[in-house]
């Protein structure tokens, strides 16, 4: 378990609070997020450990997050506050790339970093080298600055103080991280939801085994890999629009497989494609007619296959044994039958590994053989039974059970145990389990390479469109997710209607603020002056101040008062009430007065409604 501390590249002090990684950012953990982003992030920082020695001009807070308790795996989350005064580039490049360049420059931004071991060591080493040449308090070689500029973090995201942010990088298992990519994005998504950010962008360059995930997942699911978390097309390069992007995905996904087979240029590739198509069609319950159907089935099948991709050969119908195994196939088969018979007597319930091992020792004295068979039996077929193995999420103990696959065809989605939930019968199950993950990914890569990347060799007019569609999808890498609807900077709310009644024709009418719909509901229609207006201006400045007022720009029909509720006191001073409570009958000019039928009262219009310029009628109380 690593607890590196960038303040001195030493172990962190004991007693520091540890947070659960899988819950961090959820509602109430570690704090209730009740306000806008700028207030929520400050509330979160109160629970962090202030790294006072990192960089005086870039304050940093750290959170120790527990990923697993047994075995212990911890990661560190750093939140680094960067002021606009010390930024090298005041204009955010990511904002310009995604189309937010018109936004006002914020005075602060916050970096959220899950550093890898390499980037933490790099920050320490660069800081020590920098101190040999530069004064320590200059900030040029501050560890916070080095950490922000480092590449290769597990995760690095940045938020501006206005609530707009960017996910800069994600590095999962393939890049040496202890966390899978989807776990990192789950963590990032919880942070964004909890902090109440407004919009987040990312540059989708995700790859898997050298394949562009936005292309593979786009064909299989109609959306990029990040679409599972709600990220959508934000902006394309080279004038690519969202409509072009959607049509390109539809063209690739709907490409008929028969067209690919009969129009492929080279016969050897044609034969290989036919074998791949027929292999997975035999495994599928549904007809695979298009390229999208094939990729979708292959990716879904990959998620259900066992994760054992070692080079093994079958030495009996039920268990996979290495060719260099020191036990004879007969002894392995005997031990396998003993274990399966015990699991049958358990009546298909989950049994712990130790319980299975103890029962089998009554018949098999070689404990090494038993351990080998128990290790090899996970998710394997023995006769008409599937031996399932899974780690109990509560007790953290390996458990085994049997499933009868002779007469059942179903998908088991209700199991409380993680593992393979695919249960199909007979020869199809056996055929499916003969395909390893390695073989399946090899087939996916072959399709990706031959059909999507090297399709420029195809001389057919129809198939030549594949390269154009692929280029459009690859040029659509800027994705955006809207977490909180963007609140308009300014909006108005009219006062209530007055002197309302139903006329002889059955229409609902009002003397003031009538909308002309003839009904109680206005259905989006605007109010007819005169009407008193209430105005709100939200986040009008970089500091995030809000303003409110009562306006007579549309005239006056009713007295209005505004009084702030809870939280009226702030760092900007106390928010006071405002109102226009006076009666205006006496001061309203005759040409602007609107007489109300029956009671002789009048309401006042605004001068510019009669072609005479005036901002607002100011009538003294």
Rg (CA), the chain: 34
Stated pTM of the model = 0.63
Task: Report the distance separating Cα 616 and Cα 608, nearest Å.
Answer: 9
Query: What tens digit of pLDDT does each residue of 163-209 get?
Result: 999 999 999 887 778 899 999 999 999 999 999 999 999 999 998 88
Q: What is the pLDDT of residues 216-266, one digit of tens each?
A: 999 999 999 999 999 999 999 999 999 999 999 999 999 998 888 776 655
Q: How far apart are CA 596 and CA 512, in angstroms?
A: 9
Q: How many helices (H) and strands (E) does the chain have?
A: 16, 33
Helix (H) or strand (E) holding 156: strand 155-160
Count, residues in the chain: 621
Which token pair is 45? Answer: 């920082």
Residue 204 CB contacts under 8 Å (≥ 6 apart), including other chains: 213, 214, 224, 225, 226, 231, 477, 478, 479
More confident residue, 273 or 603: 273
Distance in angstroms (rounded) separating the CA atoms of residues 89 and 87: 5
On the question of pLDDT at 111 being above 60, the answer is yes
Angle formed at CA 366 by CA 365 and CA 368, multiple of 5 degrees: 150
Q: What is the CA angle 569-573-576, rounded to 5?
A: 70
Confidence of residue 210 (pLDDT cuts 50, 70, 90): confident
Q: How much of the chain, in percent, has pLDDT values that exceed 70?
A: 71
Domains by residue range for the chain, with CATH:
18-127+148-203 (no CATH), 207-225+242-305+435-474 (no CATH), 329-404 (3.90.1150), 490-618 (2.60.110.10)
Per-residue pLDDT tens digits for 55-105: 667 899 999 999 988 778 899 999 999 998 887 778 899 999 999 988 888
Cis bond before residue 30 (omega within 30° of 0): yes
pLDDT tens by residue, 392-434: 777 878 888 887 766 543 333 343 443 333 333 445 544 554 6
DSSP string, 267-295: HHHHHHHHHHHHHHHHH-SS---BHHHHH
Q: Of the given ranges (17-31, 288-302, 494-508), which has the lowest mean pLDDT?
A: 494-508
From the CB of residue 144, how many other CB atoms can be counted at a distance below 10 Å? 26
pLDDT in tens, 12-44: 555 578 999 999 999 889 998 888 899 999 999
* Predicted confidence (pLDDT) at residue 380 exceeds the cutoff of 50: yes
């Amino acid at each position: 378990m690593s607890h590196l501390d960038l303040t001195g590249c030493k172990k962190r002090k004991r007693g520091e609070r540890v947070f659960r990684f899988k819950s961090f950012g959820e509602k109430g953990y570690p704090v209730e997020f009740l306000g806008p982003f700028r207030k929520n992030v400050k509330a979160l920082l109160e629970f962090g450990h202030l790294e006072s020695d990192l960089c005086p001009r870039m304050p940093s807070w750290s959170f120790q997050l527990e990923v697993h308790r047994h075995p212990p795996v911890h990661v560190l989350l750093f939140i680094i506050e960067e002021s606009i005064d010390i930024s090298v580039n005041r204009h955010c490049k990511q904002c310009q790339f995604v189309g937010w360049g018109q936004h006002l420059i914020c005075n602060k931004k916050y970096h959220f970093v899950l550093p890898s071991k390499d980037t933490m060591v790099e920050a320490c080493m660069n800081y020590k080298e920098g101190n040999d040449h530069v004064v320590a308090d200059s900030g040029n070689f501050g560890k916070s600055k080095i950490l922000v500029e480092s590449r290769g973090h597990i995760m690095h995201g940045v938020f501006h103080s206005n609530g707009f942010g960017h996910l800069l990088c994600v590095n999962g298992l393939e890049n040496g991280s202890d966390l899978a990519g989807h776990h990192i994005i789950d963590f990032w998504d919880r942070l964004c939801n909890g902090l109440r950010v407004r919009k987040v962008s990312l540059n989708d360059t995700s790859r898997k085994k050298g394949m562009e995930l936005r292309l593979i997942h786009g064909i299989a699911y109609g959306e990029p890999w990040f679409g599972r978390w709600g990220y959508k097309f934000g902006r394309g390069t080279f004038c690519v629009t969202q409509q072009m992007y959607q049509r390109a995905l539809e063209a690739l996904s709907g490409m008929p497989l028969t067209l690919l087979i009969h129009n492929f240029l080279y016969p050897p590739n044609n034969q290989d494609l036919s074998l791949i198509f027929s292999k997975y069609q035999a495994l599928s319950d549904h007809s695979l007619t298009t390229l999208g159907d094939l990729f979708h089935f292959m990716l879904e099948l990959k998620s259900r296959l066992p994760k054992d991709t070692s080079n093994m050969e079958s030495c009996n119908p039920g268990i996979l044994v290495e060719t260099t195994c020191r036990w004879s196939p007969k002894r392995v088969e005997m031990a396998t039958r003993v274990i399966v018979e015990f699991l049958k007597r358990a009546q298909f319930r989950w049994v712990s590994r130790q319980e299975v091992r103890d029962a089998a020792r009554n018949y098999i004295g070689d404990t090494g053989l038993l351990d080998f068979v128990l290790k090899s039996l996970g998710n394997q077929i023995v006769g008409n039974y599937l031996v399932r193995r899974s780690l109990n999420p509560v007790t953290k103990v390996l458990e085994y059970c049997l499933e009868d696959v002779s007469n059942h065809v179903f998908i088991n989605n209700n199991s409380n145990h993680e593992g393979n939930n695919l249960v199909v019968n007979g020869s199809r199950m056996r055929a499916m389990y003969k395909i390893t993950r390695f073989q399946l990914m090899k087939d996916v890569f072959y399709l990706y390479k031959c059909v999507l990347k090297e399709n420029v060799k195809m001389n057919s007019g129809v198939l030549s469109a594949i390269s154009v569609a692929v280029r459009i999808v690859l040029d659509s890498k800027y994705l955006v997710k809207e977490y909180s609807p963007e609140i308009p900077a300014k909006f108005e709310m009219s006062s209530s209607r007055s002197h309302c009644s139903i006329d002889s024709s059955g229409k609902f009418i009002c003397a003031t603020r009538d909308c002309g719909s003839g009904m109680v509901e206005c259905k989006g229609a605007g109010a007819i002056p005169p009407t008193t207006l209430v105005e709100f201006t939200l986040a009008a400045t970089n500091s995030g101040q809000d303003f409110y007022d009562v306006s007579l720009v549309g005239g006056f029909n009713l007295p209005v008062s505004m009084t702030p509720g809870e939280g009226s006191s702030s760092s900007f001073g106390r928010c006071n009430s405002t109102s226009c409570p006076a009666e205006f009958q006496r001061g309203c000019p005759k040409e602007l007065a609107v007489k109300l039928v029956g009671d002789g009262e009048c309401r006042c219009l605004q001068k510019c409604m009669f072609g005479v310029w005036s901002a607002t009628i100011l009538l003294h109380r």
